[in-house]
């Protein structure tokens, strides 16, 4: 598993690393399954999530898996910041947000995303 807990400005953030998986759908699904297990063990409305999708293609093939994962974990997540999502990927992310009710905030840079997550 590539994802891990990090700390930023005294806040614990779950860094979900889907970056540089390019067109490897199975690798994204495997990482997604692993992060779900961790998030579901955390208390409700407690997890600060930073998801990195830089250099990873999010196609319609992955949307169903992402939708299911988001719906399952959303009650455990307090805030989600996303990096590496622009253009068509952003459209898919917005659709995912509408379908699951889990709001996503997009950032160009990880540091900005971590700062936003660490805000009270």
- How many Å apart are CA 103 and CA 34, to the nearest integer? 21
Question: Is residue 45 a contact partner of residue 7, using CB atoms and an 8 Å limit?
Answer: no
Supply the range of the domain harboring residue 58. 4-118
Number of domains observed in the structure of the chain = 1
Other Cβ atoms closer than 10 A to 35: 23
- How many Å apart are CA 10 and CA 17, to the nearest integer? 21
Q: What is the pLDDT of residues 3-23, one digit of tens each?
A: 999 999 999 999 999 999 999
pTM > 0.85:
yes
Q: What is the CATH number of the domain that holds 34?
A: 3.30.750.24
Q: What is the pLDDT of residues 26-80, one digit of tens each?
A: 999 999 999 999 999 999 999 999 999 999 988 778 888 988 999 899 999 999 9
């Amino acid at each position: 598993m590539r994802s891990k807990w990090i700390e930023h400005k005294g806040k614990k953030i779950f860094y979900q690393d889907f970056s540089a998986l390019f067109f490897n759908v199975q690798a994204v699904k495997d990482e997604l399954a692993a992060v779900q297990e961790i998030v579901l063990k955390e208390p409700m409305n407690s997890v600060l999530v930073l998801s990195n999708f830089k250099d990873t293609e999010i196609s319609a093939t992955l949307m169903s898996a992402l939708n299911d994962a988001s719906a399952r974990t959303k009650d455990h997540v307090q805030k989600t910041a996303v990096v590496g999502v622009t253009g068509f990927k952003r459209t898919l992310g917005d659709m995912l947000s509408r379908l699951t009710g889990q709001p996503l905030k997009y950032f160009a840079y990880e540091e900005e995303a971590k700062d936003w997550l660490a805000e009270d």
